[in-house]
A and B are shown apart, each in its own frame.
Chain A
Amino acid sequence: MPLYWITANNAATTWTGATTTTWTDTTSTNTLFYVTDSTSITAPIIWYDNVTWPNLQTAILCSGSRRVYTEALWAGLLHQSRGPHIPDFQHADRLASPAVHVPAAAVEREGLEREQRRQIKDRAQAILLAHLTPEQKDTLERLGWFVVEGERSRQRYRIRASSASGNIDVLERDLFNDKVLYRLCAHCDLNQIPLHDHLLAQKLMLEGDESEFLRIANRHAR
């Protein structure tokens, strides 16, 4: 089995540009690599600063002329490097599985699906932002939540954007006190619409049909 490392011989300043980076093996004879979501193939061991790669279970390296990266791996890169540059990989890695070639069609399909997911997310985000006040946009961007006021009760609800489930905090009525009294959980089918659509649905219900929302929602301790 050959030993591999990954060099950061790129001047890429964006993640898109980083896909042009050439990763080479120790003999500099092959251009690497593939990453696939397939879980049916034994994952290789990759080292980065003496720490095992964070997405081993989804990462596969193989020889080839194409370079494909899963979102999970890029998320790992982003997390590890905390910046747009690919980090240096100075530690040799042992390829634990035979080279696997990912068909070009599958690669293209994955790329298209990723782009489609991004567009859907952007569309949902855009419609939510279009319905928020400047103050709500501000707290969403800075803190990851926004506050709405109940249509009838004038109760303040804090909608957290981290998820669509159990994400509504019922706040103390005192405007200067953000103590959470309890939490509410009500959302659309989680598989039906993207996250930001859920947040908009929750906002519209609380502002436009609060009593119905409260009838539907389950209540949880804070």
Chain B
Amino acid sequence: MQNEMQVLDHTGHTKVEWNPDIDAEVASARAVFNEMTGKGYRAFTVDNGKSRRIESFDPDLAEMVLVPHLQGG
């Protein structure tokens, strides 16, 4: 099983994939998650078309999207 995290960025998005059964891949994905949320990105998980905000990395989630900080305009 391959889970994925999509980080919205200047390239359109960058995809990070990991197998939840492989510790090294999980650690790598967790590091990206922590780095980006540390920069102000917000994380969402998407399931059946419905999104939900998440605060911490969960390697068992099939899909996450990381969104840059939003500001009022």
Contact = CB atoms under 8 A, between A and B. Distances in A.
Interface stretch (B17-25, B29-37, B42-50): B42-50
Interface in A190-222: 192-194, 196-197, 200-205, 207-209, 212-213, 216-218
Contacts of B51: 131, 203-204, 207-208
Contacts of A121: 12
Interface residues of A, number: 37
A216 B12 contact: no
A213 B12 contact: no
Interface extent on B, as a size class?
20 to 34
Contact of A201 (B12, B53, B67): B67
Nearest to A125: B12
A125 B69 CA distance: 20
Contacts of A200: 8, 65, 67
B68 A188 contact: yes
Q: Tell me if A's interface is mostly helix, strand, loop or mixed.
A: helix
A126 B11 CA distance: 12
Of B13, B44, B49, B71, the most chain A CB neighbours within 10 A belong to B13
Contacts of A188: 8, 67-71
Give the residue among A125, A133, A193, A196 with the most B Cβ atoms within 10 A.
Answer: A193
Contacts of B53: 208-209, 212
Contact of B70 (A123, A133, A216): A216
Given A204-B51, A207-B51, A208-B53, A194 B12 contact: yes
Nearest to B68: A188
Given A124-B12, A218-B73, 20 more contacts: A120-B11, A122-B12, A123-B11, A131-B49, A186-B70, A186-B71, A186-B72, A189-B68, A193-B68, A194-B12, A196-B12, A197-B9, A201-B68, A201-B70, A203-B51, A204-B42, A204-B44, A204-B67, A208-B53, A217-B72
